Amino acid sequence: MILRNRDMDMCSGPLFSKVLIFALPIMAMNILQLLFNAADMIVVGRFSGSDALAAVGATGALINLIVTLFIGLSAGTSVIVAQDYGAGQYADVSRSVHTSIAISIIGGFIVAVIGFAFCKPLLEVMGTPEDIIGLSTLYMKIYFVGVPAGMVYNFGAAILRAVGNSRHPMYYLIVSGVVNVILNLFFVVVLHMSVEGVAWATVISQYLSTLLIIICLLRCDGAIRFIPRQTRIDGKKLKNIVKIGLPAGLQGMLFSISNVLIQSAVNSFGSTMVAASSAAGNVENLAGTTMNAYYNAAITFTGQNMGAKKYDRIDTVAKVCTVLIFATWIVMGGISLLFGRQLLGIYTSDQQVIELGILRLNVMMAAYFTCGIMNVFPGLTRGMGFSMLPMFCTLVGACLLRIVWLVTFFAWYPTVIMLFACYPVTWTLAGIGQVASFFYARYRIRKNDVKNNESAESLHCTG
């Protein structure tokens, strides 16, 4: 099947319905990804015990720290392709596509080598409990075999979303996710493997999803078609992608560093708390991954309308995303609080783990909408071409303040509640900064546009 270049006109017509239609496949994809990742933990938790559950859960923050820099670069791909596409500069779109694929391949292998080599020393630095560190190391080493494939998939999905196609990445994730679940059960239940079984299942499914998205790009017509022999890094496009994507990646790294420090604090309470926090984190992510769909919508809609110079529509995109964030918090947060025990019971039958998980859920969900504001508004700002501002807000509002919280309030009152309270506090402060950054970027864009128009009129009159 030949795919159309433009699945959605983002630069004209009603925005609420279009943002929602665009976000729904990403939302479904994110939730499915979460469920497929949760399948790893459910299978090992149910069939291999709480130690295996804790071992897999203890790796999440560290994996994100290592891979997030290059994943952030895919945000640069999304913005640059969307802006070129909105401006009708299709030759530039093609160069961006092939540069992005080249970056993903190179970056994927770099991350895999780093992760494989340094996973155990980093787990030791984090204070991972002795009874699970061996299993955690084994899981991570196998996981990083699949990172090159995961990197190519993320960049490929960013290319498709930038031109309005958010459906096909979802389809491919469904296929690979189903395979992942089947392999989880086969390796762990039938072959009696432990964390290595779910790790190999993840690796195989990652390569499958990458194969599918590459085939899709090969069969696309027009500007986003992937032609292997044209895979090379265009210096100008690399600079533009890095300009937007590197701050996004650094922001993700800084955020991950703060999460690694918090994970280290969680580790200090023992493997039972690690298991509880991991399970509760997966339940919370039902809301978080849903809101992440609005980030992708924000960055793509803003990028295309920036390219088309339709700045008023960017304001509307911001309003639509804010409404959707609050609606998601009310629905998903309510479900998590009302049915928390049942949801945690899917992961484990250990009542102590469930009760500690409920404690975390109650603290985190009270103000989870601030997490959505903090995560979605950077998409609007980056879509306008400003990427340093969101990074700075995350550095100060989330990362530094979390470190301050850990060495002050948590050090003074080393309880589980005081530890997890740092999340809503820092989400709120960082969210305020991200909203302020959006309005600053909006002001600068409009001011520059007026200045450019005045200059053009002056030249016209002179002529």
The CA distance from 323 to 13, in Å, is 19
DSSP per residue, 135-201: HHHHHHHHHGGGHHHHHHHHHHHHHHHHTT--HHHHHHHHHHHHHHHHHHHIIIIIS---HHHHHHH
Number of domains in the chain: 1
In this predicted model, what pLDDT tens digit does every residue of 18-52 receive, in sequence order?
A: 888 888 887 877 777 666 666 766 776 665 666 77
- pLDDT band at residue 214 using 50, 70 and 90 as cut-offs: very high
For residue 154, give Cα distances in angstroms to 6, 75, 172, 207, 324. Answer: 20, 10, 12, 12, 24
Mean pLDDT check: name the lowest of 27-41, 137-151, 290-304, 354-368.
27-41
pLDDT of residue 409: 92
Opening angle at CA 386, ends 382 and 388, nearest 5? 105
Query: For the chain, what's the residue count?
Result: 463
Average pLDDT over residues 131-136: 80
Structural domain for 169, as ranges:
15-453
* 10 within some domain: no
Mean pLDDT check: name the lowest of 44-58, 362-376, 377-391.
44-58
Higher pLDDT, 257 or 344: 344
- pLDDT band at residue 5 using 50, 70 and 90 as cut-offs: very low
Helices 15-47 and 311-338: crossing angle in degrees, nearest 10, is: 30
* 7 within some domain: no
Q: What percent of the chain has pLDDT over 70?
A: 88
Q: Is the model's pLDDT at 436 over the cut of 90?
A: yes
Higher pLDDT, 153 or 223: 153
* 152 within some domain: yes
pLDDT of residue 408: 93
Number of H-type helices and E-type strands within the chain? 19, 0
- pLDDT band at residue 1 using 50, 70 and 90 as cut-offs: very low
* 3 within some domain: no
Tokens 């049942």 belong to residue: 342
8-state DSSP, 461: H
The CA distance from 189 to 197, in Å, is 9
Q: Is the model's pLDDT at 74 over the cut of 80?
A: no
* 365 within some domain: yes
pLDDT of residue 230: 86
In this predicted model, what pLDDT tens digit does every residue of 155-175 receive, in sequence order?
A: 888 888 888 787 888 888 888
* 247 within some domain: yes
The CA distance from 313 to 315, in Å, is 5
Mean pLDDT check: name the lowest of 56-60, 279-283, 308-312, 424-428.
56-60
Higher pLDDT, 127 or 112: 112
In this predicted model, what pLDDT tens digit does every residue of 294-344 receive, in sequence order?
A: 988 888 888 888 888 888 889 999 999 999 999 999 998 888 888 888 888
For residue 267, give Cα distances in angstroms to 61, 262, 401, 419. Answer: 12, 9, 20, 12
Tokens 């769909």 belong to residue: 293
Q: Is the model's pLDDT at 91 over the cut of 60?
A: yes
Whole-model pTM: value is 0.68
Q: Is the model's pLDDT at 451 over the cut of 80?
A: no
Average pLDDT over residues 122-148: 82
Q: Is the model's pLDDT at 215 over the cut of 90?
A: yes
- Identify the three-state secondary structure at position 258: helix
Mean pLDDT check: name the lowest of 46-50, 85-89, 174-178, 205-209.
46-50
The CA distance from 315 to 149, in Å, is 36
Average pLDDT score over the chain: 82
pLDDT of residue 2: 37
* 1 within some domain: no
Q: Residue 226 — φ and ψ, nearest 5°?
A: -90, 120
* 459 within some domain: no
The CA distance from 62 to 264, in Å, is 10
pLDDT of residue 48: 62
- Among 120-124, 132-136, 378-382, the range with the most confident prediction by mean pLDDT is 378-382
